[in-house]
Structure 1
Amino acid sequence: MTTELQYLAWSIVLGLVYLMAYATAIRRQNGVEWATGARDADKPPQGLAGRLARAQRNFMETWPFFAVAVLLVHLLAKESARSAWGCEIYLWARVAYLPLYALGVPWLRSLVWVVSMIGLIMVLSAMF
């Protein structure tokens, strides 16, 4: 398995971490009965649960682009040091993003997001 595909696999694990962090926080906020029920009553996430919901949504806004870029690099046999570094930068920036968002750190969180986008662009640029 190439380095890029390994990072793609780890990004799936990271996506599950994002999802589980949010799911745990919203269950704590609204209780087990709400979590196991039909959820007919709308209870929007607040505080930590809200920040984790937004972080998870943000991850899911960027991850499909990352996944497709990695798969295209692999299918086109364009793996390189640049694509591997881009994958690593994207993944580790997204790892850092989750606790920064959960803690409500504004400027550094945004900077880390920009770093993750640089990693994604590096993967994309490896195709050309």
Structure 2
Amino acid sequence: MDVSSLSASPFLPMVGWSAVLLAVHVMLQAFTMSAEAARTVGASWNPGPRDVDFKPSGKIAGRAARASGNFRETYPAFIALALALALKGDASGWGIGGAWLWFACRIVYIPLYLAGVPYVRSLAWVGSMLGLAAMFAALVS
């Protein structure tokens, strides 16, 4: 395998940007949960040992936690497919198209979930799954 062709793969920057999206999810969840914890169990919860099990009960912190969990359910599949397609090479374009669809839908999903928008949020999730399906189809074809 030619390493230079692997380094030129469009999937590698997608993996990098997906890590940024993961960090956004983690920080959004942390910030909203910390703010809620400060209001309900006290400001000492966040910097302390967190011996008290705190589950967010507010809308935004709860939604941020669920959106983050939902992202992390599909993230390993995205990484596996993206890296496999980088190794294989994607002459069809379906793989990189699917990667971009997954990425765009996962970005759109965040504000839709936080705002509590029904149906459209589900369509964004379906779009992300179609992106993974396109990546898989490109991999096995």
**Shorter-normalised TM range:** over 0.9
Alignment partner, residue 5 of structure 2: none
Q: Deviations over 1:39-94 (max 9, x none)?
A: 11122112110100000000000000000001111122335411111111000100
TM-score normalised by structure 2 residue count: 0.86
Asked if 1:12 corresponds to 2:19, the answer is yes
Question: Identity over aligned residues, as a percent?
Answer: 38
Asked if 1:41 corresponds to 2:41, the answer is no
Gaps of 5+ in 2: 1-7
TM-score normalised by structure 1 residue count: 0.94
In the alignment, residue 87 of structure 2 is paired with which amino acid?
A: L
Higher helix share: 1
User: What stretches of structure 1 move > 3 A for 4+ residues in a row?
Assistant: none
After TM superposition, the structure 1 = structure 2 runs for residues 1-128 of structure 1, keeping only pairs within 5 Å, are 1-31=8-38, 32-46=43-57, 47-78=59-90, 80-128=92-140
Q: Deviations over 1:16-46 (max 9, x none)?
A: 0011001000010012421111111122112
* Cα displacement (A) at 1:7: 1.2
* Cα displacement (A) at 1:112: 0.3
Distance 1:35 1:125 in 2: 44
Gaps of 5+ in 1: none
CA contact (8 A) 2:9 2:89 kept: no
Distance 2:10 2:44 in 1: 43
Q: Deviations over 1:84-114 (max 9, x none)?
A: 1111100010000011111111211111000
CA contact (8 A) 1:97 1:112 kept: yes
CA contact (8 A) 1:4 1:79 kept: no
Distance 2:76 2:13 in 1: 16
